[in-house]
Amino acid sequence: MSLGDPPESRQAALRAMAHPVRLRMLSLLTGASLTAADIARELGLTHANASYHLRNLLAAGLIVQAAEERIRGGVAKRYRYDAERSRDRDRETMLGEHGADSQRALFAVVANELIRRTAAADWSVGGSMTDAELWVDPDAWRAIRDRITELSRDLHAAARPPHTPGTIRTSTTIAMFRMAES
């Protein structure tokens, strides 16, 4: 998806991401390429429901088919989420005609997802959260934003398949933006 794509295409991608199950699927598909059956087991969905949501994500260009494999005489498709491609798409979407409205809608979905995730949090080991509306030097802002973006890439690269021995399940949400002058 790029700015050259029709607005309907960009909006379709945002609509696809705006479903809480699909948002969870994107997270799962960061660490590994998975089949519809894998996702159904992990999220407690029917295979048909997982397949439906995967088709929506694929049609919106949010995931890619990573491989095919033969399973019990059939062919299972494996899908994955490409975080780099997503960041490029997000940058272009924010610059598009409906960028601000789209981003606000996506943030609302993510806020609801955070409510679900915090119910499963292990608070005994601590965590970290920053929420602030600050005035900072523009050069400092760009430098900090760029460092956090790089750390986000590192985190995506470190992601492993669900339940991989020696891993822990985490939740990370980062939202940074410059505010309009008031």
Q: How far apart are CA 43 and CA 19, in angstroms?
A: 14
Q: How far is CA 94 from the centre of its chain?
A: 15
DSSP 74: E
Across the 182 residues of the chain, what is the mean pLDDT of every consecutive 10-residue run? 50 76 91 93 96 92 91 90 66 54 78 86 87 92 94 92 93 87 78
pLDDT at 91: 52
Query: Which residue type is seen at 144?
Result: I
CA 123-124-130 angle, to 5 degrees, is: 45
Residue ranges of alpha helices (H) inside the chain are: 7-17, 20-31, 36-43, 47-59, 83-95, 99-119, 138-158
Nearest to 148 by CA among 163, 128, 126, 125: 128
State the sign of the Cα–Cα–Cα–Cα dihedral 31, 5, 36, 110. positive
Q: Tokens 């999220």 — which residue?
A: 43
pLDDT at 3: 41
pLDDT at 47: 96
What count of Cα atoms within 13 Å lies in the side-chain half-sphere of residue 117? 17
pLDDT at 127: 87
> What angle in degrees, to the nearest 10, is found between the helix axes of 138-158 and 83-95?
140
* Whether the Cβ atoms of residue 47 and residue 36 lie closer than 8 Å to each other: yes
